Amino acid sequence: CKPGQLVAMALPYPIVSDDKIAKALSEIEQRLVTPVGLRNLSPDDPKFGPDTCITPYYLGFLAELYMKIYGEDGLRKAETIYHVFDEKPNDVQSPNFFEKFSAEPPYEGKGSPLSAVTIASINRIKLLIDQF
């Protein structure tokens, strides 16, 4: 169960059926999804530790698959993801837009504080919601 699976499943011509994508999404939701992104390892993985992080970049692929597989229900899930990041930052170093986060609450920001990749992913979610 790795977040990179989302990329392969979100391609225009995925190599697995929608049923298998739905099953994988269920596993990903249970093991990897957090309010600020996806963990790079599941907490039950033996390699899970202090170097494990959360990457918001994958949220765009997650939102896209939610809408593709679950329709209107998926749209609501995508909107929930977007609204976590839609809050206006209190200062320039808003934790909502870090490049990555620690894997456990309180999800401390790491890396670039205004990551272009994170901002682009959140903007992509908004675009997908508007196009739905």
pLDDT tens-digit map of 25-42:
999 999 999 989 999 999
| Each residue's pLDDT tens digit, 50-94 | 889 999 999 999 999 999 999 999 999 999 999 988 765 554 445
CB 43: neighbour CB atoms within 10 A? 11
- Look up the pTM and report it: 0.89
* Nearest alpha-carbon partner for 61 in 25, 94, 91: 25
